[in-house]
Amino acid sequence: MITGANSGIGWEAALELARQGAEIILPARTEAKANDAIARIRAQVPNAKLIPEILDLADLNSVHAFAKRVAEMFPGQSLDLLINNAGVMAVPTRELTVDGYERQFATNYLGPFALTALLFWSIKPQPGSRIVTVSSGVSNQGKIEFDNLQSQRRYSPMWQAYAQSKLADLVFQQELQRRLTAMGSPILSTGAHPGYAITNLQTTGPGENVPFLMRFGMMILKPLASQDAAHGALPTLYAATAPEATPGGYYGPSGFQELKGYPVPAKITAAAKDVALAQRLWAESERLTGVSFGALSDAA
C-alpha cells in the first residue's frame, strides 16, 4: 500500500511495483484521483492489480475508516509493504485540519503515524514485511519543538513547519525500528528521501505564493541538481524492496548534497537518532492521535 500514489514519487513507485507484479492498494484523496492514477498505470501495465481507495491523512476519521477497510480487505493475509509517502510542503499560512492540527504536521506525520499504528496488526511479522517512511533532506534543518508542534507559537512554512514534520517522520522511522527489534520482530522499518525531484510538491502546498527564497533556490538548483519523479522514487523503492536494506536503513540519492543520483545510505542527523526525543514524540503522537501501537508502545 502506498499513500500519495496518485502523483509524483508515489505514483512512480506504484508503477514500478505494479510492473514487478505487486498487488497494490492505492489510496488518494478522491475516488476520481485514485481511478485516474490507476488508469495511467494500466496504460503501461495492463494487468496491474490495483485497488482504488480513499484516504485523507489530514483527517483522523478518514484514517480510521480507511484502515478498517484495509484490515478487512484480505482476511488472513499480510499487508507486506506499507509506504508512507504522501505529503504536502510549505503551505504559505498556518492552516488547521478538521482535528485542529497544523496541516503539514498532520498530513506528513500524525496521519501516517496513526495509519501505521492502525495497520500494524495487518502486517505479519515475517521476513520481507516492511514499513517505509518517506522523509526529506530538509529534515536536517528541522527541530522538534514540543511547545510548537502545531506551529502555534511561530509558523514558517518551509524551514520550521515542513522541516519539523519531515524530521518527525525520520525520528518515527528510527524509533519504530528500535521497538520492532526490541520485540524480536522481523518487520523492517526503513526510510527514504528523494533528494530534489520535480513533482507537484513544489506547487501544491505553496500554490501561487511560492516564497521568494524557495523560488530563488529552485531557480538555481533545478537545472543543476534536480531529477525527475521516476529517479526520485528510487530511494523509496530501494527502502521497500532491496535485499541489502538494513533494519532502520535510511536511503537517499548519492549526488551532491543528496539532491540527485542513485540510492545510497543517507545522512541521519543527531536529532533524528535522539532516543529520548523519539520516545517523547511517540508518546505525544499517541496522545494527539488517540491511537496506540499496543504492545509495540511498551517495547520502548
Interface positions with ligand NAP (CB under 6 A): 3-4, 6-10, 28-29, 33, 55-58, 85-89, 107, 134, 136, 193-194, 196-197, 199-201, 204, 232
Q: Say whether 162 is catalytic.
A: yes
Nearest residue (beta carbon) to ligand NAP: 8
In the complex, least distance from residue 184 CB atom to ligand NAP, rounded to whole angstroms: 30
In the complex, least distance from residue 56 CB atom to ligand NAP, rounded to whole angstroms: 5
Residue with cell 502555534: 152
H or E, element range at 272: helix 270-273
Torsion-angle region of residue 168: left (phi > 0), alpha (psi -120 to 50) or beta?
Answer: alpha
Q: What is the rounded distance in angstroms from the CA atom of residue 59 to the CA atom of residue 85?
A: 16
Nearest to 53 by CA among 74, 72, 32, 39: 32
Length of the chain: 300
Give the active site residue among 101, 109, 162, 251.
Answer: 162
DSSP 8-state symbol, 266: P
Number of Cα atoms under 13 Å in the Cβ half of residue 284: 18
Residue closer to ligand NAP, measured from CB, 22 or 167: 167
Q: What is the rounded distance in angstroms from the CA atom of residue 97 to the CA atom of residue 204?
A: 16
Neighbours of 47 (CB within 10 A): 7
Q: What is the rounded distance in angstroms from the CA atom of residue 20 to the CA atom of residue 142?
A: 36
What residues contact residue 22 under an 8 Å CB cut-off, 6+ apart?
49, 81
Say if strands 250-253 and 227-228 run parallel, antiparallel, or are unpaired. unpaired
In the complex, least distance from residue 169 CB atom to ligand NAP, rounded to whole angstroms: 8
In the complex, least distance from residue 126 CB atom to ligand NAP, rounded to whole angstroms: 27
In the complex, least distance from residue 4 CB atom to ligand NAP, rounded to whole angstroms: 3
Terminal Cα-to-Cα distance of the chain (whole angstroms): 26
Q: What is the rounded distance in angstroms from the CA atom of residue 17 to the CA atom of residue 33?
A: 19
Specify which residues 107 forms β-bridges with: none
Residue closer to ligand NAP, measured from CB, 165 or 185: 165
Residue closer to ligand NAP, measured from CB, 55 or 149: 55
Residue closer to ligand NAP, measured from CB, 164 or 185: 164
Residue closer to ligand NAP, measured from CB, 217 or 294: 217
Residue closer to ligand NAP, measured from CB, 81 or 89: 89
E strand map for 126-199 = 130-134, 188-192, 197-198
In the complex, least distance from residue 162 CB atom to ligand NAP, rounded to whole angstroms: 8
Q: Which residues are annotated as catalytic?
A: 162
